[in-house]
Structure 1
Amino acid sequence: MTFVELSPGVEAALVTSYGTALRVMRDPSVFAKDPRRWRALTEGRIPHDSPVLPLMAYRPTCMFSDGDEHRRLRAAVDDSLGRVDPAWLRGLIANTADTLIDGFSRNGTADLLSGYASPLVFGVISGMFGCPAPLATRLLRALTEIFNAGDHAEQANEDAAQCFGELIALKRNRPGNDLTSWMIEHPAELSDLELVHQIAILYGASTEPGSNLIANSLRLLLVDSRFSGSLSGGTLQIGDAVDEVLWKDPPMANFCVHYPVHDVLLDGVWLRAGDPVVISLAASNTDPALLTHDRTGNRAHLSWGAGLHSCPAQQEARLIAEIAIERLLDRLPDLSLAVPVDTLTWRPGPFHRSLQALPVVFPPEAVARNTVSAPHAEHPR
């Protein structure tokens, strides 16, 4: 464990051990999630415009709550996700992928992050929430700025909240078969404020990490000799690449913030109650103390979190990534990086592991694709 500054004036303990990370995430009696325990924030020592606040400050959501409040809010999320039809979702992902590939397949070049991974994940998530395109476009700009944790994060946070409020109002007036409508009608009876923040967390936790997972996996497939020899090798190979990225290059390198409920000794260091503890998912996954280095097929990584607050949409996130990669490599099997791999750069930020861009070249696709089975215009009842 080490102590870090997440942004100017924001200090935290950073857990880098796999075993310690599990202890923190699995013991809510000692390590709580509610940021209202954050001592420096409650004492006014965190700048109000700190760029990490949009991702760390309290919101009435299952991510930032404990006990009965967490159980009620998490039930609304789990039950709504449980209503998503897997066949419908597969069709939505495949058709979103093909539409994007159609847009650049004749060019012979593309940025697979800004031109494919990011709009694909955002389009699929927007479809799941029933969010219309003009509203989704505004949301994408705001959420990207929030994850960058830059100078405009505070304004972006306000812009995103406005968009989510509009989406909820739309679905209250015209409910559909989508996550937004299902959460509105859930027996947990979420308030408008809870709905805004819960949908915001689900959007944010799906889009930025989801696009990073696709881009980081594509980078591995393109440059690692174990994969790059036969890019059209199929789903098993793609699944192995996704697993390896989740172990060694996770889309969220550092997150899962917790707050000790009392002073506690952790890894030989005393932590004070209310001081933030951040899990380095990347470091914990590569802890030298882990007994095996061959993790093919092993999914015991911490990239989805662990314990009561583990990611509720793991299956959906993985499905989006694997189908997105499979469709791309089926359509454009001769992809290669347009620049040397060591010139690829990573976006700055304390939490995410995201490339600035993933430029590729390929022989232009000469013929139109065969149309795959289109998803239902609306989620099936």
Structure 2
Amino acid sequence: MTNPPEHARTDSLATPPPGCPAHIGASHAGASRLYGPEAESDPYGLYERLRAKHGPVAPVLLSGDLPAWLVLGYREILDVTRTPSRFSRDARLWTEMREGRVSMDNPLLPIVTWQPMMSFVDGEQHERWRGAVNDSIARFDKRGIRRHVTQCANQLVDRFCAAGNADLVHQFAEHLPMMAMTQLLGMPEAYSPQLVNAARDMLRGTETAIASNEFVQETLRRLVARKHAQPGADFTSWLLEHPVGLTDEEVQQHLRLVLIAAFETTANLIANTLKMVLTDVRFRASLAGGHMTLPDAVEQVLWDEPPFVTVLGRWATQDTELAGKQIKEGDALVLGLASGNVDTVVRPNLDAPIHGNRAHLAFSGGAHECPGQDVGRAIAGTGIDALLLRLPDLALAVEESGLRYRSSLLSRHLVELPVKFTAQQPSPDADLTGGQAPTAASADVGQVASDLSQPGQAQGPASRASWWASFRNWLRGR
């Protein structure tokens, strides 16, 4: 008697094998982890090994050995993103969450806990929230964004240009998007360093990820309160005054979504594009010779090294099939954006440059495709252009083989990008303070956030139950 195919889901196969935890069925026995040394050291290699073994959909384990499906194929990712009737963004469907197998300290919680924002709903509610966000983004003055980004880029360059060397990850790529976003959201630029640390820590899924998430939440909570009293020409005020009538909680959560997504995607995009310009002879020659514009180079990076390598997630609304795998209702799906971008179905020749093609999955797809992608492109392209104009002889200070990456479930980013250049004097009116911000875990949330609030309002998180405390109490009282 021959064994049934791997994807068949009979009652016998649904029983976990000996030695396998009860919550991991036969379909996920021996599945590769999307966390730990192998995933962190070579995520792209892991994706290709999984594709070779399982095809376009592979069984994987998330933090806490929680079973999920990694969607590796380009067509399959589009299928998932375009059929919300089968694959929903509502994390409350997740079987592992509903049955209490997601521990209270699991680093996935900040990104999978359901919150009142467009990335966790479909249908009419999604259209309502998404419409408010789209309308508010559309009010940005694109030329004004570029002017502000140019000013921010020059401020950052002024802080290191006299040294003749710099680390463009920590001194440029990570700070520029947050400097731009704090201005667009209507908050003081002084808080961008703290928010950089908190956002990076949260997305890494470290032991302090939950504390970092609360820091961001509390800062934005105070910002919303301030904008009620002092509205301005900014994203926060526009959300508050939008005719659909968003609640303060809804506005806060959408600010968090936009802030974190814009930071991570744009910081990685800037760093990866700069690395390509500095290390890839073909593109450096093309840029110098005028055959490839900087926007072309940015788009090439979005194909080859997307800012988010995966996105969690979608959750199956019913028992269904995807690429021969039987997906159960409540199963989690992880979209492998990086692997989909190199699928031979869409890119038979990976060495061929791509000019003007935006069919990549860097910003996901379907109804939940990133609404702020053009703002991200504007920040990245304008910032890099300003940097190269100021430092035209910029060169990598180490061998390319010496560059290191840090990977997590969601992203893979450069640890540092050391460069050298001819030292020059900063601008006469340059602000060279550039003080180091405390880490998110040690920052005084109440003190930082109080500057964003109105006189007479509570000055610290103790005055209101925190988001995390409320969620924890809800879990305990289920």
TM-score interval (norm. to shorter): over 0.9
* Contact 2:279 2:400 (C-alpha < 8 Å) held by counterparts: yes
Which residue of the other structure, out of 13, 21, 26, is the alignment partner of 2:69? Answer: 13
Alignment-derived partner of residue 142 in structure 2 = 86
Percent identity of the aligned residues? 37
CA 1:72 to 1:276, structure 2 compared with 1: closer, same or farther past 3 Å? same
* Contact 2:167 2:418 (C-alpha < 8 Å) held by counterparts: yes
Q: Provide the rounded CA distance (Å) in 1 between the counterparts of 2:109 and 2:379.
A: 29
Alignment-derived partner of residue 224 in structure 1 = 280
Of the two structures, which has the highest relative contact order with CA contacts closer than 8 Å and spacing of 6 or more?
Answer: 1
CA 1:135 to 1:369, structure 2 compared with 1: closer, same or farther past 3 Å? closer
Amino acid corresponding to residue 415 of structure 2 in structure 1: Q
Which residue of the other structure, out of 171, 193, 205, is the alignment partner of 1:115? Answer: 171
Deviations 1:186-232 (CA, angstroms, capped at 9, x unpaired): 11211111111111001001001110000001001110011234765
Alignment-derived partner of residue 159 in structure 1 = 215
Deviations 1:48-103 (CA, angstroms, capped at 9, x unpaired): 11112212221111111111111111111000001001111111111111111111
Alignment-derived partner of residue 259 in structure 2 = 203
Which residue of the other structure, out of 336, 342, 352, is the alignment partner of 2:411? Answer: 352
Deviation of 1:256 after TM superposition, in Å, equals 4.9
Alignment-derived partner of residue 364 in structure 1 = 423
Spell out the pairing of 1:164-175 with structure 2 (5 A cutoff).
164-175=220-231
* Contact 2:161 2:426 (C-alpha < 8 Å) held by counterparts: no
Q: How many residues align?
A: 371
Point out where structure 2 has 5 or more consecutive residues left out of the alignment.
Answer: 1-56, 431-478
Does 2:242 match 1:178?
no
Structure 1 length-normalised TM: 0.93
Does 2:302 match 1:246?
yes
The SS at the match of 1:105 is helix
Which residue of the other structure, out of 151, 154, 157, is the alignment partner of 1:101? Answer: 157
Does 2:395 match 1:336?
yes
Does 2:90 match 1:34?
yes
Alignment-derived partner of residue 323 in structure 1 = 382
Deviation of 1:288 after TM superposition, in Å, equals 1.7
Spell out the pairing of 1:249-260 with structure 2 (5 A cutoff).
249-260=305-316
Which residue of the other structure, out of 51, 57, 63, is the alignment partner of 2:113? Answer: 57
The SS at the match of 1:301 is coil
Which residue of the other structure, out of 353, 361, 364, is the alignment partner of 1:302? Answer: 361
Amino acid corresponding to residue 359 of structure 2 in structure 1: A
Alignment-derived partner of residue 379 in structure 1 = none
Q: Provide the rounded CA distance (Å) in 1 between the counterparts of 2:263 and 2:355.
A: 26
Which residue of the other structure, out of 26, 31, 43, is the alignment partner of 2:99? Answer: 43
Deviations 1:155-176 (CA, angstroms, capped at 9, x unpaired): 1111111111011111111100
The SS at the match of 2:346 is coil
Deviations 1:107-156 (CA, angstroms, capped at 9, x unpaired): 11111111001111000011100111344333222211111111111111
Greater shift, 347-356 or 216-225, is seen at 347-356
The SS at the match of 1:321 is helix
Q: Which structure has the larger Rg over C-alpha atoms?
A: 2
Does 2:336 match 1:280?
yes
* Contact 1:101 1:328 (C-alpha < 8 Å) held by counterparts: yes
Q: Provide the rounded CA distance (Å) in 1 between the counterparts of 2:182 and 2:232.
A: 13
Structure 2 length-normalised TM: 0.75
Q: Provide the rounded CA distance (Å) in 2 between the counterparts of 1:113 and 1:202.
A: 21
Deviations 1:263-289 (CA, angstroms, capped at 9, x unpaired): 111110101111111111000000022
Amino acid corresponding to residue 176 of structure 1 in structure 2: G
* Contact 1:135 1:163 (C-alpha < 8 Å) held by counterparts: no
Alignment-derived partner of residue 441 in structure 2 = none
Q: Provide the rounded CA distance (Å) in 1 between the counterparts of 2:247 and 2:291.
A: 42
The SS at the match of 2:163 is coil
Alignment-derived partner of residue 265 in structure 1 = 321
Q: Provide the rounded CA distance (Å) in 1 between the counterparts of 2:179 and 2:189.
A: 8
* Contact 2:164 2:421 (C-alpha < 8 Å) held by counterparts: yes
Amino acid corresponding to residue 83 of structure 1 in structure 2: R
Q: Provide the rounded CA distance (Å) in 2 between the counterparts of 1:96 and 1:236.
A: 25
Q: Provide the rounded CA distance (Å) in 2 between the counterparts of 1:136 and 1:367.
A: 22
Q: Provide the rounded CA distance (Å) in 1 between the counterparts of 2:248 and 2:131.
A: 17
Deviation of 1:296 after TM superposition, in Å, equals 2.0
Q: Provide the rounded CA distance (Å) in 2 between the counterparts of 1:49 and 1:370.
A: 47
Amino acid corresponding to residue 150 of structure 2 in structure 1: A
Q: Provide the rounded CA distance (Å) in 1 between the counterparts of 2:404 and 2:116.
A: 35
Amino acid corresponding to residue 189 of structure 1 in structure 2: G
* Contact 1:138 1:163 (C-alpha < 8 Å) held by counterparts: no
Amino acid corresponding to residue 394 of structure 2 in structure 1: L
Deviation of 1:314 after TM superposition, in Å, equals 1.3
* Contact 1:26 1:308 (C-alpha < 8 Å) held by counterparts: yes
Deviations 1:346-373 (CA, angstroms, capped at 9, x unpaired): 11311112111111111112574899xx
CA 1:364 to 1:77, structure 2 compared with 1: closer, same or farther past 3 Å? same
Which residue of the other structure, out of 145, 156, 165, is the alignment partner of 2:201? Answer: 145
